[in-house]
Structures are given as structure tokens and as C-alpha cells.
């Protein structure tokens, strides 16, 4: 099993460009797995982790409800935002500047073959990361992602998650609100959940947070939880 992970920080990139790039990486891994089985060979598959920040964009998961987008096409243009219906799980979410988006493209057969465990470890990665800033992240039953003040009238989501898998290879991932303009969430019903607010590290702590610092902490906890051997740049 190959537990090395190729790491790329892609700065700010268009959503569609990165979606296609993820799909290409996933397909190359899947193709190699098929080839290995056909030829009874054991060529190691690669694992990847992409960091990216997107320009303003709304994405709707495959089981999502279009009515959770509260803007029409003209209003999207006025906001400088784009919209994509995509192939991950979950409903609607927003990506934009000041948000850390992480896309692990992992062959889970290099780690463990358990999608539930994969999602819980992604959540735990973020929970441990924001704990270093004094924020108590929690899981909310039946609602993937990381939340604050679960079980109270003030529950709010700080990190959204949605994934897709094919032959145990993952794509899509998480979006952690660091210095995000939360006003853009007013144009959707986030994750299709009415009456729940969103939060950012900046809104909770009252200051801008260095995103590179947060990324380093995410990578540290991801490495420990997934028992990654090395990051390869």
C-alpha cells in the first residue's frame, strides 16, 4: 500500500478547471487499478491532496434541490459568481476567497475501505485544526461537516464537506471558512438546511487568520489521522 501523498497548493483557480483536474486524477488512478486487476499486477496507485481557493461559485450536489439557490442567472452575474451542478454528495454550498478548499484524491485501498470512516476522519482533521485556535468544532447527527454550538439555537457550520468515490478513489472534499465573506451564503439555503447559520474562523475570533498557517495545521492532522508516510511536493 502506498501511503505517500502528492501535495499541490494551486492558489486561486476557477472551479470548473479544478473539477476537471480532479476528475482526470481520479480516472488515472481508476484506470491503473483496472489494469492491475486485468494483468494481475501490483503497480502502486498515487494519492493526491489539492489545496485551492475558488472565485465566487455555488455548487449543487447530485441529490441537491435547485430551489436552494436563491439567485437567478442575472443575479449570479451581478454577484460575480458562477454556478455548477456537480457529481458530489450533499446539497448546495458556496466557495470563494478567504476559504480553504481541500480536495483529497486518495485510493482508499491504500488506507482503509470505509467511506464512513473517511468522512469522519476528514471532519476530525478540521475539528483538531480549529481547536488549535480555541474553537470547539463538533459533528451534527445526520449533517456532514463541522459545526459550532451543536444542539443550541446558535448552531452554525464552519466547514462543509461533500465527496464522490469510484472504485474506492475519492474526489471533492471540504471547504473551511477562514476569512470568508459570509454574506454570499445569504444567497442559498446552505447544504439545504433551513434555519442554520454559517461561521468563519474570522467571524468567531474577530481577526484575520493567516491561511498558510491553517493549511499547515490541516496537513499535520490529516497526516496523523490517515497515517500518511510523506507529502511529496
Active site amino acids: 191
3-state secondary structure of 217: helix
Contact 30, 107 (CB under 8 A): no
91 labelled ligand-binding:
yes
93 labelled ligand-binding:
yes
Residue 220 corresponds to which cell in the numbers above? 499535520
3-state secondary structure of 158: strand
113 labelled ligand-binding:
no
94 labelled ligand-binding:
yes
89 labelled ligand-binding:
yes
Residue 130 corresponds to which cell in the numbers above? 480549529
Give CA–CA dist 233/230, Å, rounded: 10
195 labelled ligand-binding:
no
Query: Which candidate, 162, 160, 158, places its Cα nearest to that of 115?
Result: 162
114 labelled ligand-binding:
no
Contact 174, 79 (CB under 8 A): no
174 labelled ligand-binding:
yes
3-state secondary structure of 69: strand
173 labelled ligand-binding:
yes
The binding site for substrate consists of 88-95, 160-162, 173-175
The binding site consists of 88-95, 160-162, 173-175
Amino acid at each position: 500500500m502506498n501511503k505517500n501523498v502528492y501535495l499541490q497548493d494551486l492558489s486561486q483557480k476557477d472551479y470548473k478547471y479544478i473539477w476537471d483536474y480532479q476528475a482526470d486524477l481520479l480516472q488515472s488512478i481508476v484506470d491503473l487499478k483496472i489494469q492491475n486487476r486485468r494483468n494481475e499486477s501490483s503497480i502502486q496507485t498515487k494519492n493526491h491532496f489539492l489545496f485551492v481557493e475558488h472565485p465566487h461559485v455555488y455548487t449543487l450536489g447530485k441529490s441537491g434541490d435547485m430551489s436552494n439557490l436563491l439567485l437567478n442567472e442575472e443575479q449570479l452575474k451581478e454577484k460575480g459568481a458562477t454556478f455548477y451542478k456537480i457529481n458530489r454528495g450533499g446539497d448546495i454550498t458556496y466557495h470563494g476567497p478567504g476559504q480553504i478548499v481541500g480536495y483529497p484524491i486518495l485510493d482508499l485501498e491504500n488506507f482503509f475501505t470505509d467511506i464512513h470512516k473517511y468522512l469522519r476522519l476528514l471532519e476530525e482533521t478540521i475539528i483538531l485544526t480549529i481547536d488549535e485556535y480555541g474553537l470547539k468544532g463538533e459533528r451534527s447527527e445526520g449533517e456532514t461537516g463541522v459545526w459550532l454550538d451543536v444542539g443550541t439555537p446558535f448552531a452554525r457550520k464552519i466547514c462543509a464537506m461533500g465527496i464522490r468515490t469510484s472504485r474506492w478513489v475519492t474526489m471533492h472534499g471540504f471547504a473551511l471558512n477562514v476569512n470568508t465573506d459570509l454574506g454570499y451564503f445569504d444567497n442559498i439555503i446552505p447544504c439545504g438546511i433551513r434555519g442554520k447559520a454559517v461561521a468563519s474562523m474570522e467571524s468567531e475570533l474577530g481577526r484575520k487568520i493567516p491561511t498558510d498557517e491553517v493549511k499547515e495545521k490541516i496537513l499535520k492532522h490529516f497526516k496523523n489521522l490517515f497515517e500518511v508516510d510523506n507529502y511529496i511536493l
